[in-house]
């Protein structure tokens, strides 16, 4: 068993080492930044965000990209994407206000959260946003009250198996209920506009897209027979990045989606949308941390100057970040890695392999560009990581 663990650890660390090498190869001077910033600091490569956005746009040429602002709402990122002509998906007045600062027209903004505060719907509609998602009769009535001629798109529930962050329990309806919602929206004077679904964040199961598109087609056809002509298909998010494993590539997913659209939609929807968040910004970020403590209990433990409450909340849902340290020690050790706070839930990882480390050594937490600082709090008096762009 120890030999088997050593083999697993060696493979895991080699993957992380290559991950780090790829980052520094793409932009060599970033290494100096990673070694010099105070810790904890999130270092984000804006050129990598541009690469991912362009790759997605080139793969799904007919799709309009609406960046999911919740993934990382930093102004530098929003500005970078604005320069590329990206649209935005927002869920709150706070997010909307950030986007509007760039003079973005409401036609480039959508809101796909099926349950929205009434004051946000009002603000969004007055700001030029005309399309909102729904998955309940009450939401239709809310939209009708403040946005009487809005377009609505219904959210279908689809499987999220193979997604590291499932999103099936809270939102979405079946085909028959979705059809009833579209009819009710039309009766209320709203404009039935389209269909959306979400395969789950960090999705590595192509079957989810298959079921999502096939189910959307079934609803599309049923709507036609009820006198409702839809024009838009929203593919949601779910584009994955590499963590401690190789994920599906944008090309894998894009080619598969294109084939499915050709198979089921003989006449393509007038508008196809996609809402990447993690898939655009996730692997552009490295959270630079330092070891502040170590001990041996049931296993080898190290403590970092960041943690679950300071930017790494997604570990609570199962995300495993690749980690690397360029210490000269060659012996690979299986570590339990704990965060800086005094809360016992602040465990970053229980099975990460790193060289033997000591207090003061740096640990580079990669794939940290999404859902880190936006989740972070000043819990226990430990601050949110600073952000540096390169």
Query: Could you list the active site residues?
Result: 342
Residue with tokens 């560009």, as numbered in its chain: 369
- Distance, CA of 38 to chain centre: 27
Close Cβ partners of 302 (under 8 Å, ≥ 6 residues apart): 291, 293, 294, 335, 336, 337, 338, 354, 357, 363
List alpha helices for 60-168, DSSP H. 75-83, 93-100, 118-126, 137-146
Sheet containing 151-155: give its strands across: 109-110, 87-89, 63-68, 271-274, 232-234, 191-196, 151-155, 131-134
Nearest CA among 105, 165, 92, 193 for reference residue 318: 165
Strands 285-296 and 362-366 turn out to be: antiparallel
Specify whether the CB–CB gap between 198 and 241 falls below 8 A. Answer: no
| φ/ψ of residue 337, rounded to 5 | -110, 120
End-to-end CA separation in angstroms for the chain: 43
Q: Treating both helix axes as pointing N-terminal to C-terminal, what angle do 175-187 and 137-146 enclose, rounded to 10 degrees?
A: 30
């Amino acid at each position: 068993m120890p030999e088997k663990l050593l083999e697993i650890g060696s493979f895991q660390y080699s993957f992380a080492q290559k991950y780090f090498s790829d980052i520094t190869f793409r932009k060599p001077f970033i290494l100096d930044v990673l070694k010099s910033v105070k810790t904890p600091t999130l270092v984000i490569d804006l050129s990598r965000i541009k690469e991912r956005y362009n790759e997605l746009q080139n793969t799904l040429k007919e799709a309009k990209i609406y960046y999911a602002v919740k993934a990382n709402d930093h102004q530098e990122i929003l500005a970078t994407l604005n320069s590329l002509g990206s649209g935005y998906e927002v869920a709150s007045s706070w997010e909307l206000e950030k986007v509007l600062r760039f003079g973005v027209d409401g036609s480039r903004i959508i809101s796909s959260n099926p349950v929205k505060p009434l004051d946000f719907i009002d603000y969004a509609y007055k700001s030029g946003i005309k399309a909102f998602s729904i998955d309940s009769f009450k939401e239709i009535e809310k939209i009708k009250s403040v946005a009487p001629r809005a377009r609505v798109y219904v959210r279908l529930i689809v499987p999220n198996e193979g997604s590291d962050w499932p999103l099936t329990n809270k939102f979405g309806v079946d085909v028959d209920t979705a059809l009833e919602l579209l009819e009710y929206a039309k009766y209320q004077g709203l404009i039935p506009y389209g269909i959306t679904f979400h395969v789950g964040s960090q999705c590595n199961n192509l079957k989810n897209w298959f079921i999502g598109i096939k189910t959307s087609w079934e609803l599309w056809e049923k709507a036609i027979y009820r006198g409702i002509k839809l024009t838009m298909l929203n593919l949601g998010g779910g584009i994955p990045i590499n963590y401690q494993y190789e994920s599906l590539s944008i090309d894998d997913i894009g080619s598969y989606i294109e084939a499915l659209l050709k198979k089921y939609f003989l006449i393509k929807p007038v508008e196809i949308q996609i809402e990447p968040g993690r898939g655009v910004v996730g692997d552009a970020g490295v959270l630079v941390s330092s070891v502040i403590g170590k001990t041996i209990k049931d296993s080898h433990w190290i403590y970092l100057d960041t943690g679950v409450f300071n930017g790494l909340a997604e570990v609570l849902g199962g995300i495993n970040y690749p980690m690397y340290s360029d210490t000269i020690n060659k012996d690979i050790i299986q570590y339990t890695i704990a965060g800086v706070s005094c809360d016992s839930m602040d465990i970053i990882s229980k099975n990460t392999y790193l060289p033997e480390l000591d207090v003061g050594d740096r640990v580079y937490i990669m794939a940290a560009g999404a859902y880190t600082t936006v989740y972070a709090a000043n819990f226990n008096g430990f601050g949110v990581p600073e952000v540096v762009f390169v």
